[in-house]
């Protein structure tokens, strides 16, 4: 059976999809660009090896950090505003053992402040979402991609006109794993404590609190109010997600498109609802695949 391969190769993970007649029939995972341990071609070969035993793929399409300075080949960013056609033109073609490989470009923009911003991988999901829901390619929309580096993109008649990155996921992980905030109590607590902490963190921000002056409550509450580590982790998650939404809220009108992991999208939906903002959810995987399908192969 002939097949093609599509893949999202980010900092943390390589996710490969085996596609037959347009349908994903198998998945494989490998190390991300941030922890390769070997040249990217070699890592890709190793991850593909079981599939290649049944024959060579017709083509490989990739997106994400594989196109960065530390990836396989550095691909220039496409500049905003960019529509799907401009983005596709930025893709680079190479080969792995004579199998044609196409790697999609990232996007860059400059905000009004003069600050630069970049993305690699999320643009594929944004253009993929427009392919899945064509209404997104007409009129003005706000597209949110929560994650390690959350992106909020403005889309106008099919063009990404600009975007902003929030360090939300990375900051949460730093605070959870490396700070003095989550281990002040000997008790950890239950999952329900984490949900209570999340709601408390969200409420602090919704009541007008700011991130930097609210973080230490995670520790103080453990010393004074008898809560444990689970509550503190939930509280920190509520604070950072709440702070992200609070920054975006003044500019948010109408329905928001939320693309990502379903559990994370659920937390964002809860935070948006607290501000009377509504969102339509799209699965990150499906959007990546739809976006990768837009890339031409030679």
Q: What is the chain's Cα-based Rg?
A: 21
- Which of 160, 215 has the CB closer to a second copy? 215
**Nearest-angstrom CA–CA distance, 159 and 98:** 34
Question: Should residue 35 be labelled a site residue for a second copy when binding is judged by CB under 8 A?
Answer: no
Question: Should residue 165 be labelled a site residue for a second copy when binding is judged by CB under 8 A?
Answer: yes
Residues 129-158 that bind a second copy (CB under 8 A): 149
Question: Should residue 188 be labelled a site residue for a second copy when binding is judged by CB under 8 A?
Answer: no
Torsion, Cα 198 203 208 214, to 10 degrees, reads -40
Q: Which of 226, 218, 221 is nearest to 181 (CA)?
A: 218
| H helices present in the chain, as ranges | 40-52, 84-89, 122-132, 168-178, 191-206, 211-214, 217-224, 229-248, 262-273, 284-292
**Nearest-angstrom CA–CA distance, 252 and 96:** 44
CB of 249 to a second copy, least distance (A): 11
Instruction: Please choose, out of 24-32, 39-47, 219-227, 265-273, the segment that lies near a second copy by the rule CB under 8 A.
Output: 219-227
- Which of 164, 297 has the CB closer to a second copy? 164
Contact 140, 169 (CB under 8 A): no
Instruction: Please choose, out of 124-132, 209-217, 257-265, 268-276, the segment that lies near a second copy by the rule CB under 8 A.
Output: 209-217
Starting at the earlier edge strand, list the strands of the sheet with 78-79: 78-79, 107-110, 116-119
Distance from the first to the final alpha carbon of the chain: 21
Instruction: Please choose, out of 91-99, 173-181, 190-198, 284-292, the segment that lies near a second copy by the rule CB under 8 A.
Output: 173-181
CB of 184 to a second copy, least distance (A): 8
Question: Should residue 269 be labelled a site residue for a second copy when binding is judged by CB under 8 A?
Answer: no
Question: Should residue 223 be labelled a site residue for a second copy when binding is judged by CB under 8 A?
Answer: yes
Judged by CB under 8 A, the residue of 22, 53, 178, 191 near a second copy is: 178
Question: Should residue 273 be labelled a site residue for a second copy when binding is judged by CB under 8 A?
Answer: no
CB of 38 to a second copy, least distance (A): 21
Question: Should residue 251 be labelled a site residue for a second copy when binding is judged by CB under 8 A?
Answer: no
Judged by CB under 8 A, the residue of 29, 35, 58, 180 near a second copy is: 180
Judged by CB under 8 A, the residue of 37, 69, 191, 263 near a second copy is: 69
Residues 92-111 that bind a second copy (CB under 8 A): 108
Packing angle of the helix pair 229-248, 262-273 (nearest 10 deg) = 70
**What backbone phi and psi angles, to 5 degrees, belong to 106?**
-90, 180
Contact 77, 118 (CB under 8 A): yes
Binding site for a second copy (CB under 8 A): 11, 69, 108, 113, 115-118, 149, 164-168, 170-171, 174-175, 178-181, 204, 207, 209-217, 220-221, 223-225, 240, 243-244, 246-247
């Amino acid at each position: 059976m002939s097949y093609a391969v599509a893949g999202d190769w980010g900092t943390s993970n390589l996710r490969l999809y085996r596609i037959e007649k347009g349908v994903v029939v198998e998945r494989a995972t490998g190390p991300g660009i941030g922890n390769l341990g070997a040249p990217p071609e070699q890592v890709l070969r190793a991850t593909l090896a079981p599939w290649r035993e049944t024959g060579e793929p017709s083509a490989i399409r990739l997106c994400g950090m594989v196109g960065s300075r530390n990836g396989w080949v550095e691909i220039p960013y496409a500049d905003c505003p960019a529509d799907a056609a401009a983005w596709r033109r930025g893709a680079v073609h190479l080969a792995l053992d004579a199998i044609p490989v196409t790697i999609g470009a990232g996007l860059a923009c400059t905000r009004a402040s003069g600050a630069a911003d970049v993305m690699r991988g999320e643009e594929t999901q944004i253009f993929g979402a427009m392919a899945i829901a064509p209404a997104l390619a007409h009129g003005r929309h706000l597209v949110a991609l929560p994650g390690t580096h959350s992106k909020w993109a403005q889309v106008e008649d099919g063009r990404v006109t600009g975007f902003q990155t929030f360090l939300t996921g990375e900051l949460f992980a730093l605070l959870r794993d490396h700070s003095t905030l989550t281990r002040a109590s000997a008790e950890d607590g239950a999952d329900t404590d984490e949900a209570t902490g999340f709601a408390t963190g969200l409420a602090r921000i919704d009541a007008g609190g700011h991130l930097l002056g609210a973080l230490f409550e995670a520790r103080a509450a453990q010393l004074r109010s008898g809560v444990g580590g689970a509550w503190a982790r939930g509280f920190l998650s509520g604070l950072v997600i709440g702070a992200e939404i609070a920054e975006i809220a003044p500019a948010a009108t109408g329905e928001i498109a939320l693309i990502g992991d379903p559990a994370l999208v659920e937390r964002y939906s809860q935070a948006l609802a607290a501000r009377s903002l509504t969102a339509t959810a799209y699965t990150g995987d499906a959007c990546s695949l739809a976006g990768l399908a837009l890339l031409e192969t030679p």
